[in-house]
Amino acid sequence: MGKHLTKFQEGYLKGLLDAEKPWHVIKDIYKKNYKRNLSSSVLDRVNKLSIQSKKIKREMRGRKRKTTARTDRMIKRVIKQNRMKSWEGIAENLQESHNVDVKTDTVRSRAEEIGIKNYKALKKPKLTPRKVKKRLLFAKSKKKWSLRRWTKVVFVDEKKLTLFHTSDDQVARNVKRERGEELLPECTVPTVKHGGGNIKFWASFSYEGPGELEIIEEKMTGKVYKKVLDENCGNRSTT
């Protein structure tokens, strides 16, 4: 037979496909009624049309969207104003400040549609604007250093573990953000070193590998710090 079917024939074949009739049975029925053979390629095309029709019908049966494009933009704006706020808090804010009545699940769904999800906030040292500026200047000043110069540098760091923690340290904070935003200041929790008795650890690494781990039980004064550097770094540069 030809590759073209009438609308009636297409509808007839869709009905047989919807009834889950096997293809060989459909071909036999079609041949009996229309006195001609039905090719597999034509039946496959009709089958794809049937599947597409079912998908459209399912979408049409779905619930009407509860929010407009304007409301969706408002939800995004409120989320980014306070990324630590809970979904319930965001819904309340929309109701109180913008007179937008939406459920918590709706807020969460709209956020996920634009790529905003709930993550555990990363902890970063709390830096003043002055310290941020100094670190940036340091990084820029070393931007053109050769590999040979970097092999002579030892990177060092200290960690103080406190015996007692504040409530802010104990509670993990959640943040609403998109991928790639985990290090933004508004998406992190600043940390400070405090809280009761403590023990300090000092460590280093360089081009040659990791250095020794030092446990410092006394108060870290300038004299003590110089002693640690002399014992572990010698005459090499430190940063």
Whole-model pTM: value is 0.47
Is residue 167 predicted with pLDDT exceeding 50? no
Q: Which of 193, 191, 190 is nearest to 163 (CA)?
A: 193
Residues 6+ apart with CB under 8 A from 123: 188, 189, 190, 191
Query: Using CA atoms, how far apart are residues 218 and 85, in angstroms rounded to an integer?
Result: 41
Q: What is the 3-state secondary structure (H, E, C) of 173-216?
A: CEEEECCCCCCCHHHEEEECCCCCCEEEEEEEEECCEECCCEEE
Q: Give burial (CB, 10 Å; 0-12/13-18/19+) of 153.
A: middle
pLDDT digits (tens, 9 = 90+) for 169-200: 445 678 888 888 888 888 887 766 555 567 78
Is there a contact between 27 and 43 (Cβ–Cβ < 8 Å)?
Answer: yes
- Is the pLDDT higher at 20 or at 170? 20
Out of 52-66, 129-143, 145-159, which region has the weakest mean confidence (pLDDT)? 52-66
∠ CA 178-182-184, nearest 5°, is 100
Q: What is the pLDDT of residues 92-103, one digit of tens each?
A: 999 888 888 889
Q: Which residue has the higher pLDDT, 20 or 98?
A: 98
* Ranges of each domain in the chain: 7-61, 69-115, 122-238
What's the rounded mean pLDDT across residues 217-222? 81
The better pLDDT of the pair 54, 79 is held by: 79
3-class secondary-structure state, position 24: helix
pLDDT band at 228 (very low <50, low <70, confident <90, very high): confident
| Enclosing H/E stretch for 118 | strand 117-120
Is the pLDDT at 2 greater than 60, yes or no?
no
Which residue carries 């200041």 as its tokens? 185
pLDDT at 130: 93
Stated as kind and residue range, the H or E segment containing 119 is strand 117-120
- In the predicted model, is pLDDT for residue 108 greater than 80? yes
Percent of the chain with pLDDT over 70: 82
DSSP three-state, residue 158: strand
